[in-house]
A and B are shown apart, each in its own frame.
Chain A
Amino acid sequence: YIGAGGGANDVQWCFSQVKGAIDDDVAEADIISTVEFNHSGELLATGDKGGRVVIFQQDTENKSLPQCRSEYNVYSTFQSHEPEFDYLKSLEIEEKINKIRWLPQKNAAQFLLSTNDKTIKLWKISERDKRPEGYNLKEEDGRCRDSTTITTLRVPVFRPMDLMVEASPRRVFANAHTYHINSISVNSDNETYLSADDLRVNLWHLEITDRSFNIVDIKPANMEELTEVITAAEFHPHQCNTFVYSSSKGTIRMCDMRASALCDKHSKLFEEPEDPSNRSFFSEIISSISDVKFSHSGRYMMTRDYLSVKIWDLNMENRPVETYQVHEYLRSKLCSLYENDCIFDKFECCWNGNDSVVMTGSYNNFFRMLERTQRRDITLEASRESSKARQVLKPRRVCAGGKRKKDEISVDSLDFNKKILHTAWHPQENIIAVATTNNLYIFQEKVN
């Protein structure tokens, strides 16, 4: 049982809530494509293939009572992106939300960035719980009052009303990406953010939409010479001049924006040497990094490739300090995983609040928690069968071969259509959000 405490404070995970439809017939628009807690953990945002964003808010009313678990309820939902058509290339631009990133809260309103393949939008989510009443020139329903009938003047006052949460697009950052945006990351300076596509990384100012600076460009002069693409990028949590980007070849480059305007030359290159005798047709494909995340401390970064999670010390470039196998049993299934395209699935990963545990998804609606200090790991499942209130999740085991034990599931029985690509961990508490294809599960630490 694994959680933030580690060691003596073993955590048991319980089902808390599940959002979404139960029916098996999943509409494409309902496929969840991103999940993200805000900086306080009070808000949880999801994006889907239909371009919609749903934000849940933690119910803090009963938080003080230890037995009560805070629930996440719908706070706001809006259509962030719509499908578009690129007339020049005759290509459809999907409305699917690739990433959501929250801005740190500066005032009463909340802000988030959401992006599809081509356009990033800044959304303001604000609450309205009072409205002005008692205008002189118009009635409450908006009709104009006949000015000849007005004999006295009154001062309009604010009166409470039912809470209304409004989402409005404040900025649209468009036309800066020829290729498909895979990442956005807000800088610690709270003024700028980066967006990355397959070949380029751009730097934006949150206030300026008509201009963006290109800071990385790996497009070769001759596209025939293309050997790798950018797969993810992120700003360092504290150093506003530092960011990293990962590649399809399994390397991570760290760049310092103080060094030059165009950061094509990295300041550090993180790459694990490969044994050439082990190289196969699949080697490069499975080494492609699908996600990169800095630790909260800023000392480490984590990368996810097809079969493993690696933790890198930012001061050591030649190899990761920790490597965890997510589902090593898939190594002997690579042929069929290539044929059904699953080998190209992009799994994300996340850190818990104090960087002691990392989490990532797998197939069959399994997800993995990897505890760093004691090198323990656990496999859990997000399923409707284990969705009774406060039901403790049982560890799952996959049988790689040979005799299958009672509670184990064999590799050949795994459902590769049930993939958990997106997971998120509350920044302070042991609350996790796990997205299956079209459902969002929230699990919490068991409270005795």
Chain B
Amino acid sequence: MSNETEIANQAMEEATTEEQQEMQDKVVSPEKAEEAKLKARYPHLGTKPGGSDLLRKRLQKGQKYFDSGDYNMAKAKMKNKQLPSATAEKTEITGDHIPTPQDLPQRKPSLVASKLAV
């Protein structure tokens, strides 16, 4: 085969592979389709999802409180949730509320048995 034909054949082969790749891309995998959907909804989403941002969020799992007083306030609020409170208009601003003895939870909350053990 002459050089020219060889080169032409090679070019044709490459073109065919490229075409094939294009065809494959058009038949998009469900995963890639989902990715496109996500990128459309959140265009600013980083390209490295498994990167340190996601991992660091995972490492820091657990609700952060301003301080232990804030923590105890939140616990007390949860416990008093069932009781209709006249002072419910108090807004939940961290650090604004100075706890009074009535706000502090009991030293040891009553332990409720698991419903599996009934």
Q: List residues of chain A with CB under 8 Å of any chain B CB.
A: 19-21, 29-30, 32, 46, 48, 50, 52, 54, 74, 77, 79, 83, 85, 87, 89-94, 117, 179-180, 198-199, 223-229, 248-249, 277-278, 280-285, 288, 331-335, 338-339, 438, 440
Contacts and interface: CB of A to CB of B under 8 A. Distances in A.
A29 B56 CA distance: 26
A123 to B, nearest CB: 15
A85 B64 CA distance: 10
B52 A282 contact: no
Contacts of B117: 54, 74, 77
A227 B68 contact: no
B51 interface: yes
Given A278-B29, A285-B50, A334-B34, A229 B55 contact: yes
A242 B61 CA distance: 30
Given A248-B55, A285-B49, A335-B37, 16 more contacts: A30-B116, A52-B113, A77-B114, A85-B68, A87-B68, A89-B64, A90-B70, A92-B63, A227-B51, A249-B50, A280-B35, A281-B45, A282-B49, A331-B30, A335-B34, A438-B115
B29 A282 contact: no
B84 interface: no
Contact of B116 (A46, A79, A278): A46
A224 B39 CA distance: 24
B101 to A, nearest CB: 19
Contacts of B52: 223-227
B33 A332 contact: yes
A411 B38 CA distance: 19
Nearest to B47: A281
Contacts of A331: 30-31, 34
Which 3 A-B residue pairs are closest in the complex by CB-CB distance?
A284-B50, A332-B30, A334-B34
B4 interface: no
B31 A20 contact: no
Contacts of B65: 85, 90-92
Contacts of A30: 114-116
Contact of A281 (B35, B59, B111): B35
Nearest to A438: B115
Contact of A92 (B32, B62, B66, B113): B62
A52 B59 CA distance: 24
A288 B49 CA distance: 12
Contact of A227 (B41, B50, B75, B112): B50
B interface majority secondary structure: helix
28 contacts: A21-B115, A48-B114, A48-B116, A54-B117, A77-B116, A85-B71, A90-B65, A90-B66, A90-B68, A90-B70, A91-B62, A91-B63, A92-B65, A226-B52, A229-B55, A229-B58, A229-B59, A278-B29, A278-B31, A280-B29, A281-B39, A284-B49, A284-B50, A285-B49, A332-B30, A332-B33, A334-B31, A338-B38
Interface of B: 24, 29-35, 37-39, 41, 45, 47, 49-52, 54-56, 58-59, 61-68, 70-71, 75, 111-118
A117 B61 CA distance: 10
Contacts, number: 127
A283 B31 contact: yes
B100 to A, nearest CB: 20
A117 B33 CA distance: 37
A117 B70 CA distance: 21
B116 A19 contact: yes
Given A91-B63, A179-B59, A334-B31, A29 B112 contact: yes
A325 B59 CA distance: 29
B109 to A, nearest CB: 9
Contacts of B32: 280
A73 B63 CA distance: 36
A248 B51 CA distance: 11
Given A229-B59, A278-B29, A92 B71 contact: yes
Contact of A52 (B29, B70, B114): B114
Contact of B55 (A83, A226, A280): A226
A248 to B, nearest CB: 7
A332 B58 CA distance: 25
Nearest to B37: A335
Contacts of B58: 198, 229
A180 B114 contact: no
Contacts of A224: 52
Nearest to B111: A79
A147 to B, nearest CB: 38
Contacts of B111: 79
Contacts of A333: 34
Nearest to A21: B115
